Amino acid sequence: MAGLFSIIESAKRAINSSRAGMEVTSHNVSNVNTPGYTRQRIELTSTDVLNLKNGMINAGVKVVGVKQIRDEFIEGEIRRISNLVGNYSIEKEILTRIESLLNEPDETGLGNLLENFFNAFDDLSKNPEDRAIRVSVIHTGKALSGRFNDIFNSLLGIKKDIISELEAKVGKINQIIEDLGKLNQSAINLRNSGAEINDIRDKINQKLKDLSELADLVVSYDKSGGVRVSMGGVMVVDKNFIQTIELRFVDGFAKIVSLRDGSEIKLKSGEVFALQSLFNEVIPEIKQKFDELAQNLIKKVNDFHKVGYGIDGSTGLDFFIGTGAGNIQVNKSIIDNPSKISSSINGDIGNNEVALAISSLRNDVKILGFYNSMVSDIGLRTKISSDNENLHRMVLNQIESQRDAISGVSIDEEMLNMIKFQKMFEASAKVIQTVNEMIDTVLSMIR
């Protein structure tokens, strides 16, 4: 009789195991479309052999845990590539805006307006007394200086937009850090109680992927079930600790610092790093080049213009006023009186040497040559960022496909598991039924 009861116990364990397997299968199927979900598998093992008087028997099967099917290396690569995609995506977005701002080649582009300005002085050299041409010189000068002003102010506007975006992304980082801190505590508490932390681990991994798009991370898992996260070389999440960050401006530079002690967090890649780099280096560099271009234009045009004579006999006037791209303007005295535009070197109305000299500035390497070089450089930077983004997105898609093949839920596979556990349940129930009949037979013999 003891042997029969041990068979029932073994079958009961099998029923419980099949029920647990069905629960895991159901959980997988339910989360087939859940982002970041990792397929789970029940871990079964045979029970220890029991030594009895009549021999050794096995008490059946038992559940030893529920394992996630994951590849830590692939998940780390997903975070690393996501970080680079975020970096190049931001670079491309801002550089494309700057490239669109230049509007080259186009009638309203700065290059075309420079050509129009020098062409107007060339026309003036052919007809120094023509008032309509003089008015045209003023209009082309105003259009040119206005375009410089627009570009300068637009660059300042882009910097302001970057500040807003930086603030939003720093806020997002802090929210993720706080969420990770809470998930850490939940994972540790569950682990201490002996429960599985698989679903919390998935949530942690999803948060880490979101965070990796924003900043470069170093991630490790604690035996207690929590995660440790270092960002830019500074620990921001530990099992009993979180450290949020703040955006500060020091001497005009955007810096990311720890709220705990104010120490700087030096990021190396990601969306926030890209925005910092654009704000601190790229846009100031482009702005400085536009200032340099405007300063060269102002100086070279004025150097010729102020030594010449207008048809009204005036001399010594600057054509442009201002100190750079942000405030270059046509001299109001010239706007009010086109006769003051210098065209003659000696005061003779028919002399055109000054107008010719100014028109020849189109060939100056520090003006149109310098500008064309700037446009090419910005275009090349934009293309490199775009190509890098596309390349890394392609790599990311491939790696995520590998992850899905390993960790994703396959409905076909889960259906097979469901049938397997169903058959296991039915067979175990049949064993119990059969043993019950055997016990009834033995009892009837005793009676």
pLDDT digits (tens, 9 = 90+) for 11-24: 888 888 889 899 99
Q: Which residue, chain included where needed, has tokens 């070279």?
A: 300
Q: Are residues 332 and 280 in the same domain?
A: yes
Beta bridge pairs of residue 222: none
**Other residues' Cβ atoms within 10 Å of the Cβ of residue 319:** 23
CB 320 within 8 A of CB 286: no
Q: Are residues 154 and 280 in the same domain?
A: yes
Task: Please say if the pLDDT value at position 284 is more than 70.
Answer: yes
The residue range of the domain holding 418 is 2-69+410-446
Q: Are residues 235 and 341 in the same domain?
A: yes
DSSP state of 429: H
Residue 55 — pLDDT band, cuts 50, 70, 90? low
Residue 119: half-sphere exposure toward Cβ, Cα within 13 Å: 10
As a whole number, the mean pLDDT across the chain is 91
CB 243 within 8 A of CB 235: yes
Q: Are residues 8 and 132 in the same domain?
A: no
Task: Please say if the pLDDT value at position 109 is more than 90.
Answer: no
Q: Are residues 65 and 156 in the same domain?
A: no
Q: Domain for residue 156, yes or no?
A: yes
pTM greater than the 0.75 cutoff: yes
Q: Are residues 213 and 89 in the same domain?
A: yes
CB-based contacts of 126: which residues, under 8 Å, 6+ apart?
352
Q: Provide the domain count of the chain.
A: 2
Q: Are residues 103 and 45 in the same domain?
A: no
Q: Domain for residue 238, yes or no?
A: yes
CB-based contacts of 123: which residues, under 8 Å, 6+ apart?
130, 133, 136
Q: Are residues 236 and 323 in the same domain?
A: yes
Q: Domain for residue 144, yes or no?
A: yes
User: Tokens standing for 264?
Assistant: 């700087």
Q: Domain for residue 308, yes or no?
A: yes
**Other residues' Cβ atoms within 10 Å of the Cβ of residue 436:** 12
- Coil, helix or strand for 269? coil
The residue-averaged pLDDT of 272-297 equals 96
Q: Are residues 149 and 210 in the same domain?
A: yes
Q: Are residues 221 and 100 in the same domain?
A: yes
For residue 1, what pLDDT is reported? 54
Q: Are residues 232 and 334 in the same domain?
A: yes
Q: Domain for residue 405, yes or no?
A: no
In angstroms, rounded to a whole number, what is the distance separating the alpha carbons of residues 219 and 210? Answer: 13
Q: Are residues 203 and 54 in the same domain?
A: no
